Amino acid sequence: MHASLLNQRLLLYRWDAWYDLGLIDTPSWSSALKSMLLFRAITALLICLLATVASAQGEIPPAFQPEPRPVPASVHALADIRLELYFSSLKQGGVGLLRLDGGGVAGAQAEVRGEIIPFFRQDGDAWYALVAVDMNTSPGAYALNVPVRRGSGDVSFALELRVESAGFIAQTLDLPGDRAWLEDAEIENQEYAALDALASAISPVPLWDETGFELPHASELTSPFGAFRQLSNERRTRHTGWDQNLPSGSPVRALAAGLARFAGQLDIRGNYVLIDHGLGLYSGYAHFSELHVAAGQRIEAGEIIGFSGNSGRSSAPHLHWETLLRGHWVDGAALLDMWLPTPSASVDAAS
């Protein structure tokens, strides 16, 4: 389509060039002019027609196709129940997906390191759970038990969760003198407590949509999740998310659909938005110059929630974004890559 459009334009250009160069025989001015005008009219009509078809084609939004469920890393069977693990091991700060498949399941939970993680029913007989490995978890092997309740007799899977080192880096952070007070440990502890309280509500259904999780801005990821940070007052802290260097005023998008639980000011995170994605999964966005949403607001996937800035404990304009899963700081980049079930209207929470 485009090639033929280009050819017609070239032809038109050549006609003019040949005419100018005297390469076209012009026995009669009037007949040559008539032919040329007719040729140009037909060509212009064709070009308009082709351009209209091309632009109409470009305007049709491509139908969104959710990614098909990948092959699990391992499958375990007890009676007629299948338990699928979509990871072979998890890094510190990692997120892992479990799927149960089988008839008559009334509920299930995953138990790891003293935490009880409910499964949620997605479609038909499929149940899912998201396992979080806190960034502070030591590498090693941990018991992963999955008791399943069902009418024809309960079963329990006894598996192992291997946690690997994420190789977190070390950084030093230099703050401008007028923000040095934000290095105070008490201020940081209070802010963590406030975030824990905000992110403690666990929506029993996923609030993300079929588009899943995407970067909040297309720019390069800079300072990584989990870095050990040395502040100028010698205190050590952790980097709970990722940084992206952005000029002030750059639009920042929600990682996924959800519900805004907080939009306001915090000491360290500055102007901040916290979005609930369901099942205890939250994303936070810090140092905004301007907030674009309010607490309680439904957020669409990719919606602009604010504009980047330099508020809070920040030494230059940038975006800091972070993810929490049931109170654990997890690597949001892992969510961008992983397959997640598409929420459906018929979702039931496991109990």
Query: Measured at CB, which residue is nearest to Zn ion?
Result: 320
Question: At its nearest, how many Å lie between Zn ion and the CB of residue 7?
Answer: 53
Rounded Cα distance, 338 and 334, in Å:
6
Nearer to Zn ion, 119 or 321 (CB): 321
Q: Is 191 in the site for Zn ion (CB under 5 A)?
A: no
Question: At its nearest, how many Å lie between Zn ion and the CB of residue 95?
Answer: 19
Question: At its nearest, how many Å lie between Zn ion and the CB of residue 260?
Answer: 20
Considering only residues 125 to 144 of the shown chain, the ones binding Zn ion according to CB under 5 A are: none
Q: Is 326 in the site for Zn ion (CB under 5 A)?
A: no
Q: Is 320 in the site for Zn ion (CB under 5 A)?
A: yes
Angle CA(341)–CA(346)–CA(350) in degrees, nearest 5?
A: 75
Angle CA(141)–CA(98)–CA(68) in degrees, nearest 5?
A: 130
310-to-22, 81, 96, 158, 270 alpha-carbon distances in Å? 66, 52, 33, 48, 8
Q: Is 121 in the site for Zn ion (CB under 5 A)?
A: no
Q: Helix, strand or coil for residue 86?
A: coil
Nearer to Zn ion, 122 or 311 (CB): 311
Q: How many CB atoms lie within 10 A of CB 128?
A: 23
Q: How many CB atoms lie within 10 A of CB 89?
A: 16
Nearest to 97 by CA among 84, 81, 116, 80: 84
Choose one: 13-21, 242-250, 251-259, 341-349; the region binding Zn ion (CB under 5 A): 242-250
Q: What is the widest separation between alpha-carbon atoms in the chain?
A: 99
Nearest to 108 by CA among 95, 126, 124, 93: 126
Choose one: 65-73, 136-144, 187-195, 320-328; the region binding Zn ion (CB under 5 A): 320-328
Binding string, 261-300, against Zn ion, x = CB under 5 A? ----------------------------------------
Nearer to Zn ion, 253 or 318 (CB): 318
Choose one: 70-78, 103-111, 170-178, 312-320; the region binding Zn ion (CB under 5 A): 312-320
Nearest to 134 by CA among 117, 118, 121: 117
Rounded Cα distance, 33 and 327, in Å:
79
Structure tokens at 343: 């929420």
Nearer to Zn ion, 84 or 322 (CB): 322
Choose one: 26-34, 47-55, 239-247, 299-307; the region binding Zn ion (CB under 5 A): 239-247
Question: At its nearest, how many Å lie between Zn ion and the CB of residue 328?
Answer: 17
Question: At its nearest, how many Å lie between Zn ion and the CB of residue 119?
Answer: 33
- Total site size for Zn ion, rule CB under 5 A: 2
Nearer to Zn ion, 82 or 229 (CB): 229
Pick one of 183, 191, 243, 331: the residue that binds Zn ion (CB under 5 A): 243
Contact 100, 82 (CB under 8 A): yes
Amino acid at 85: L
Close Cβ partners of 55 (under 8 Å, ≥ 6 residues apart): none
Q: Is 331 in the site for Zn ion (CB under 5 A)?
A: no
Site residues (CB under 5 A) for Zn ion?
243, 320
